[in-house]
Amino acid sequence: MFLEPAILSIIVAKLRGGHLRNLENVYIKGWHLFIIVALIQGFLSIGKKMGIALADKIFKEYLIYVVIFMFFFMLIPIIFNIRKNYMKLFLIGLALNFIVMVGNSGKMPVFPDGITGIKNRIDIEVQLPHRESDIKHEAADRNTKFIYLADIILIPKPYPLPKILSIGDIFLMLGAFQFFQEEMIIRREGHFQGI
């Protein structure tokens, strides 16, 4: 999800006179909490795929609590660094995805047909590709809550990396784009770094 905005942003930042070496000076307070969240999600994904009992039990019985826990762990560094514009975008995206996931038992509903799936309002469980290690997504149906915050934005082929996004994902991608714009071009103490 972040690959395209990151590559595009780096290109734009370079055209604007930015420098990749400025990224060496980036400091985000509480960044290690993002690592903890990634490790938890990685454990659950791999554990579910490998059939580890603990991961399977957490996934089946406590996923909603894990989602809430991970949200607050990600929220802490965002609040610590809220003066950065990209953190504001991350906050909006995180909050929108959190709302729809908590409303749907910790899962992100997916409409494989994009917004037409909402209009049809049919159960489309059979259309969602099976992903053994995916702990976050489920096929949407007529009981899905907060429908318009779910994965309903379809970017189909011929786009080389087709995907289905939520509104929250769009804000997260904008945040990723803004990150490179700010940190590669950012003016520190009255002068540009990396010149």
Which two three-digit tokens encode residue 147?
Answer: 């429908």
**Tokens 């990209």 belong to which residue?**
86
- Domain range annotation of the chain: 3-182
pLDDT category of residue 44 using cuts at 50, 70 and 90? confident
Comparing 192 with 79, which gets the higher pLDDT?
79
Residue 182 identity (one-letter amino acid) = E
Give dist(CA 72, CA 64) in Å, integer: 13
Comparing 94 with 122, which gets the higher pLDDT?
94
pLDDT tens, position by position, 114-165: 666 555 554 444 444 444 446 678 888 778 899 899 998 888 788 788 788 9
pLDDT given at position 135: 65
Q: What is the mean pLDDT of residues 74-95?
A: 96
Residue 79 has pLDDT above 90, yes or no: yes
pLDDT given at position 132: 43
Select, from the ranges 22-26, 141-145, 155-159, 191-195, the one with the highest average predicted confidence (pLDDT): 22-26
Q: What is the mean pLDDT of residues 82-96?
A: 96
**Tokens 């969240």 belong to which residue?**
37
pLDDT given at position 115: 65
Q: What is the mean pLDDT of residues 86-110?
A: 94
Residue 113 has pLDDT above 80, yes or no: no
The alpha carbons of the chain give a radius of gyration, in whole angstroms, of: 19
Min mean pLDDT across 3-7, 110-114, 145-149, 181-185 is at: 110-114
How does the average pLDDT of the chain come out, rounded? Answer: 83
Residue 27 has pLDDT above 80, yes or no: yes
Give dist(CA 179, CA 76) in Å, integer: 18
pLDDT given at position 195: 34
pLDDT given at position 130: 47
Contact predicate 101/135, CB 8 Å: no
pLDDT given at position 100: 95
